[in-house]
Amino acid sequence: MTKEKFNKYVMPTYAPAVTLIKGKGTKVWADNGMVYLDFIAGISVLNTGYSHPTVVAAIQDQAEKLIHVSNLYYTENQALLAELLSDISLGGKCFFANSGAEANEGLIKLARLWGHEEGKYEIICMKNSFHGRTLATAAATGQDKVKVGFEPMPEGFIHAEYNDLESVKSLISEKTVAVMLEAIQGEGGIVPATDEFFNGVRSLCDEHNILMLCDEVQCGMGRTGKWFGYQNYDSVPDAISIAKALGSGYPIGAVVSGEKLADVFQPGKHASTFGGTPLACAAAIATIQAIEAEDMVSAAVETGKIFEDGLRGFVKEFKHVIDVRGKGLMLGLVLDCDAKPLVDMLADMGLLTLATAGNVVRFLPPLNVKPSEIEEALDMLEDCIAELHEDSE
């Protein structure tokens, strides 16, 4: 019923599998009676799990008081959230938007405005990166599949090899305004930047007076065992974009800057009708409070370690499993073959994961996933890999 109506009236940008009806913690229920352990969690949106009580209460309370006002007026929640985000990241100021793509669009415009007087506008992005589906963020994305059919793409984006400092260096010119990267590439297949690369990019940016921008949309908000992915390294970017987990599923995105870029946007230069509404900010404040109260950032380190160790065991045990990549609870199991059959089999058994970059099974469970749920997932994985492995002998 739902499926028929959905397929009749919703544009087929996705090909959904089952109909989900409710969620709690790491579990989600389908209308066909299946209960899943969700190790993809809205693709790193539900870092606090489904329906965290702190977030639910905050949304309910705020909805009764004030859902929306225009940004022509001050609101307390936007100030509170900006302070929280500034404190846990770059110490500068915030601009609020509604999604990852929109946050990145803001990041790109911020960089261009900063470089405008000197005629600098070009942004060096990374191959295999993902920054969104608007035209500018698709242009920034280092994957052809998001661009094909939509040409001409906006100008001003070129692409270097990720984890190859020489490649970045060779693209720097008098037009370059920024280097933009993910500390850990998500859609690209869970690929962490090496220390040498990440810190090297910072040095290059300093040498050439260009900005370092980090897309923290997927790897931010505690996911990697730090509040933000860049905090796994010694270098600090000039600005970051955040979205996905920021509102625990309530849409909100943000640009956070360091001191240098804090006052580049002036009235009239950038805007968003829904950016930072009292309701969205209430959801995000509650998300940060829940993560702090339950120390979920440390949990991502500890539970991530248990999970990673278990996954590493499969590299030894199974010949088609060749590597484990990632940090904290952002992990990828790398196969020497297509990951889709395994992902489909896992879903049939009750574990939701995602195939990424062809041969990688991606895991992004809620940060408060229980160690017992990690064990359950590892058991299902072992059974499924063993069965697939047997078939391929």
Residues that bind ligand PLP (CB under 6 A): 99-101, 104, 130-132, 182, 186-187, 215, 217-218, 243-244
- Distance of closest approach, residue 107 Cβ to ligand PLP, in angstroms: 10
272 and 243 in contact (C-beta within 8 Å)?
no
- Integer Cα distance of 213 and 269 in angstroms: 19
Compare residues 108 and 385 and give the one whose CB is closer to ligand PLP: 108
Minimum gap (Å) between residue 233 Cβ and ligand PLP: 17
Toward ligand PLP, which CB reaches closer, 120 or 159?
Answer: 159
- Residue of minimal Cβ distance to ligand PLP: 100
Residue 182 or 373: the one with the smaller Cβ distance to ligand PLP is 182
**Nearest distance from C-beta of residue 254 to ligand PLP, angstroms:** 12
**Sole residue written with tokens 């052809």:** 144
Q: How far is the CB of 54 from ligand PLP (least distance, A)?
A: 22
Contacts with 10 (C-beta within 8 Å, 6 or more apart), sequence order = none
What dihedral angle (degrees, nearest 10) is formed by the CA atoms of 34, 10, 40, 236?
-170
Instruction: Say how many C-beta atoms besides its own lie within 10 A of residue 20's C-beta.
Output: 16
Which of 134/313 has CB closer to ligand PLP? Answer: 134
Closer CB to ligand PLP, 215 or 373, in the complex: 215
Distance in Å, CB of 393 to ligand PLP, minimum: 36
Q: Using the minimum distance from each CB to ligand PLP, give the nearer residue, 157 or 314.
A: 157
Q: How many CB atoms lie within 10 A of CB 154?
A: 13
Written as one letter, the residue type at 320 is H
Residue type, 110: L
Q: Output the smallest distance, CB 104 to ligand PLP, in A.
A: 6
DSSP-derived 3-state class of residue 58 = helix
Q: Which of 306, 301, 265 is CA-nearest to residue 94? A: 265
